[in-house]
């Protein structure tokens, strides 16, 4: 392996910038090629020690194909790579070389390369998230129209009674009623689409041991289990519960300096949808689970607001989940 090269790949949809460095950091090549396996292999040849590609849309699929071709390849965290870059200038040429050099010296900030099955599950769960977000926006527009029409009713919104009032008794102008009827029909279509996606998710995870173990936890339903499985993938890739909590964006952020010690809220990490669904689960746990109900009562007695209490429960619950899942599934499924 004396002449093996360290490869850095700057990814684009149709083309790639590929840089190869020898063990001493000398540039063997740094050239552009088409975004396909055949052209990459022809450009690099057989002399590959390790390779790196920045995590981006489409990069995981390419990395998996290169791994199947025998490469030792890693995904790099784009945010940390940008911080390591010392020059304010950014070019494909320099980006590819930086990735190759970080791989060579062992400083590459790696992220997990999710297998195809997990990426396919993410595709489904994010389709459901997109539909749910669209449903939320339509509901907001309906409520906004009611405010414009100065409509008030002492009923809980979106219950059957409230919908019956909206359709039959709300005093709306002709155009406002026409608009709201169309939005209600749109809501029905989205509900049908969500049901179709959920059926697909249910079918795909029917034999998934991790999803089954998550569903066995109190307060965890299908959507929460599917989201955790898709976004986290493997629980055993985290050494500690704190690592998982930070990945989910649930750890408190320290903002201490000198004599001052302060808490700056939760860290800015992870997908917002993942954090939101875990916090929602924490709200349910604080109501229905004896341990978390008592914990909520203690924090409430100290004057903590509900949002802080839910975040604290979510943080502690996720930390314990790592160890619980290791006990439930040995060895952990892929």
pTM of the model: 0.85
Cβ neighbours of residue 249 under 8 Å, at least 6 residues apart?
Answer: 266, 267, 268, 269, 270, 271, 272, 274, 275
- Total residue length of the chain: 334
Beta strands in the chain (DSSP E): 5-11, 15-21, 27-34, 48-54, 73-76, 110-111, 252-254, 263-266
Residue 144, preceding bond cis, omega within 30 degrees?
no
In this prediction, residue 267 carries a pLDDT of 75
Nearest of 66, 64, 52 to residue 98 by alpha carbon: 52
Nearest of 266, 122, 291, 194 to residue 282 by alpha carbon: 291
User: Which tokens sit at 320?
Assistant: 């314990």
In this prediction, residue 255 carries a pLDDT of 64
Cβ neighbours of residue 246 under 8 Å, at least 6 residues apart?
Answer: 267, 269, 270
In this prediction, residue 135 carries a pLDDT of 97
Burial class (CB in 10 A: 0-12, 13-18, 19+), 271: middle
In this prediction, residue 332 carries a pLDDT of 45
How many C-beta neighbours within 10 Å does residue 171 have? 9
Considering Cα of 61, then 225, then 333, then 314, what sign does the dihedral take?
Answer: positive
In this prediction, residue 261 carries a pLDDT of 61
In this prediction, residue 264 carries a pLDDT of 62
In this prediction, residue 270 carries a pLDDT of 80
Print pLDDT tens along the chain (334 aa): 457 899 999 999 899 999 999 999 999 999 999 999 999 999 898 889 899 999 989 999 999 999 999 999 999 998 888 888 877 778 999 999 999 999 999 999 999 999 999 999 999 999 999 999 999 999 999 999 999 999 988 899 999 999 999 999 999 999 999 999 999 999 999 999 999 999 999 999 999 999 999 999 888 999 999 999 999 998 988 989 999 999 999 887 776 666 666 566 777 778 899 999 999 999 999 998 999 999 999 999 999 999 899 999 999 999 999 888 877 666 544 4
């Amino acid at each position: 392996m004396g002449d093996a090269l360290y490869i850095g790949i700057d990814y684009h949809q149709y083309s790639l910038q590929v840089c190869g460095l020898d063990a001493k950091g000398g540039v063997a090549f740094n050239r552009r090629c088409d975004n396909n396996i055949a052209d990459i292999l022809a450009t690099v040849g057989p002399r590959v020690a390790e390779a790196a590609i920045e995590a981006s849309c489409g990069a995981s699929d390419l990395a998996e194909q290169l791994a199947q071709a025998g490469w030792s390849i890693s995904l790099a965290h784009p945010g940390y790579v940008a911080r390591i870059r010392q020059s304010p200038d950014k070019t494909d040429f320099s980006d590819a070389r930086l990735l190759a050099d970080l791989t060579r010296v062992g400083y590459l900030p790696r992220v997990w390369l999710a297998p195809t099955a997990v990426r396919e599950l993410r595709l489904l769960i994010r389709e459901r998230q997109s539909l749910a977000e669209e449903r939320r926006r339509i509901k907001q527009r309906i409520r906004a129209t009611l405010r414009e029409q100065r409509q008030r009713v002492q009923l809980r919104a979106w219950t059957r009674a409230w919908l019956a009032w909206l359709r039959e008794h709300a005093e709306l102008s002709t155009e406002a009623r026409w608009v709201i009827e169309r939005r209600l029909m749109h809501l029905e279509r989205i509900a049908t689409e969500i049901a179709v996606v959920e059926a697909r998710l249910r079918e795909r995870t029917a034999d998934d041991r991790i999803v089954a173990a998550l569903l066995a936890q109190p307060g965890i339903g299908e959507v929460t289990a599917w989201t955790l499985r898709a976004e986290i993938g493997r629980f055993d890739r985290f050494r500690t519960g704190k690592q998982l909590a930070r990945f989910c964006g649930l750890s408190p952020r320290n903002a201490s300096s000198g004599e001052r010690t302060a808490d700056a809220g939760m860290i800015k990490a992870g997908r917002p949808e993942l954090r939101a669904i875990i916090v929602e689960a924490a709200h349910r746990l604080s109501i229905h689970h004896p341990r978390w109900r008592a914990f909520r009562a203690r924090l409430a007695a100290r004057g903590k607001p509900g949002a802080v209490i839910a975040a604290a429960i979510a943080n502690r619950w996720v930390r314990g989940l790592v160890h619980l899942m290791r006990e439930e599934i040995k060895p952990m499924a892929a």
